[in-house]
Each structure stands twice: as structure tokens, then as C-alpha cells.
Amino acid sequence: MTVRLSAVVMAVALPACAASVSDHDNRIFSAHAAVKLSAVDLPTAYEADASTADDRYRGRALEVSGIVRGLGVDSRTLTFAGGETGPSISVSLHEDVAAAILASSTDGQRLTLKCFCEELDQHVRLKSCVTPDAPQ
């Protein structure tokens, strides 16, 4: 019985610790944002110390506010402006809400999203993004 329970716990826990987060991870709807920060502060933290930033943010739900600096041509992405010298933030919207978010967003607009933080890879990548008040 203990072995089975351990296997179930590992099967449930491992995806949450995985290196990659799906663009369509439904856990975001019920996840509580671990941290609220600006789209300037997040890439600045990665630029200062990527390892520490990964430990603090990677795989966690974050509430990020920033200025939209590009709407994706694929109907599911947008970019937040980073600091003047820092990397920008690449945002993959959850497919269930992507159309609504993009329809109400414009370049230069301030926007707040709740997302899972994936990592820094030229840009800080956020996945499964929804508005903080998105229904569960």
C-alpha cells in the first residue's frame, strides 16, 4: 500500500516540478499567485542572478503587470516590455482565454496576467497566462 501511495504522489508531484509548463495548463485557474511583480522586476531578477530567480519563480504561478509591447501573430502570444536594458517577457496565453485577452489588449496598454513562470531563454517565458480574475 505504501509503495502504491508513493507512486501516486510522485506521479502527481513530478509534473508540477517539470522543466516545461504547457501553454494549456488548467491548474492556473485555481492557482494562487505566489508573487506579484512588475514586468520590469522579473527580467531584472533573472539578469542579476538567473539561478536564484529560477529557484524563486520557475514553475510557480506569478501575477505580472506590465506594458504590452507586441501582440503575437499566432493568436496566443504577446510580449511585455522589460527594463530599458533587460530582456522582455514572452507570454503564452492559455488557449481558453487567449482570444478574449488579445481582443481587449493593445500595444502600449498596461495589463496584469497570472501565469506559470517557465525560465529565461533570451526572454523570460510565462505560460498558461490568464487574467487574475478568470473564472475557474
What CATH number does the domain containing 98 carry? 2.40.50.140
Taking the CB of residue 83, how many other CB atoms lie within 10 A of it? 15
pLDDT band at 123 (very low <50, low <70, confident <90, very high): confident
Label residue 85 by pLDDT band (50, 70, 90). Answer: low
Examine residue 1 and state whether it is found in any structural domain, yes or no. Answer: no
Whether 5 shows a pLDDT value over 60: the answer reads no
The reply to whether 28 falls in a domain is: yes
Binned at pLDDT 50, 70 and 90, residue 31 comes out as: very high
Q: What is the mean pLDDT of residues 103-114?
A: 94
| Distance separating alpha carbons of residues 121 and 97, to the nearest angstrom | 25
Give how many domains the chain has, as a whole number.
1
Domain for residue 47, yes or no? yes
Instruction: Indicate whether 90 belongs to any domain.
Output: yes
Owning domain of residue 54 = 21-130
* pTM given for the model: 0.80
**Could you tell me which residues come within 8 angstroms of residue 24 by beta carbon, excluding any fewer than 6 positions away?**
94, 95, 96, 128
Query: Does residue 4 lie in a domain region?
Result: no
